[in-house]
Amino acid sequence: MREFRRSLPMSLLKAREAVMKNFIPHLREQDLSPQQWRVLRALFEAVESGEGEIEMKVLAERCYLLLPSLSRIVQNLEKRKLISRRTSQSDQRCSMISLTASGVDLVNLMSPQSEARYEHITRVFGYGKLELLYELLDELTNKLAEADQKEPQETARIETPAAAGNAGKAK
């Protein structure tokens, strides 16, 4: 079997943690989790672009969070007056979320450190490599999404009788 160290999910996880490691303490000083920060940043962009309010479903997509997680996060941030919500008039199922003035201030307070972290990473790793890494990650994500959509049972199908051949290992 392939070596345990050669685990792509683990390599991605380690890289991710290395990247976030020295920024997280700054978030904690403001009692923010990385996920809460993602929500605030997404809402901040909505302010800047003039979009203003965002519904839960869209916010979840932009922050790459599942709705149940976002639901709890929004409740928490609303209690802290960092965001506000109202029910959409056109569709009363929808909550429209937006950043409060306090929320805007907090994002503005944290942004310099966020940018500094990126500058640090760019300096240490190299601009070209960072761009290359982004490209590879996007391509991997997109190609797998495509392939898994076409062949959702890919890994299972290989073990199927019809696929025969079977690399002589399964049995």
Partner DNA sequence: CATAATAAATTTACATGTTAAGTTATATTT
Partner DNA sequence: AAATATAACTTAACATGTAAATTTATTATG
55 lies in the binding site for DNA (CB under 7 A): yes
Q: Toward DNA, which CB reaches closer, 19 or 147?
A: 19
Least spacing, CB of residue 59 vs its own copies, in Å: 11
162 lies in the binding site for its own copies (CB under 8 A): no
Q: Which stretch binds its own copies (CB under 8 A): 2-10, 52-60, 68-76, 82-90?
A: 2-10
Position 67: which residue type? L
- Residue span 38-77 as binding mask against its own copies, x where in contact by CB under 8 A, dash where not: x--xx-xx----------------x-x-------------
Burial 5-36 (b: 16+ CB within 10 A, else e): eeeeeeeeeeeeeeeeeebeebbeeeebeebb
34 lies in the binding site for its own copies (CB under 8 A): yes
93 lies in the binding site for DNA (CB under 7 A): yes
57 lies in the binding site for DNA (CB under 7 A): yes
Task: Name residue, tokens 């009788």.
Answer: 161
CA 49 vs CA 23, 44, 54, 140: distances in Å: 26, 9, 12, 30
Rounded distance, CA 107 to CA 125, Å? 26
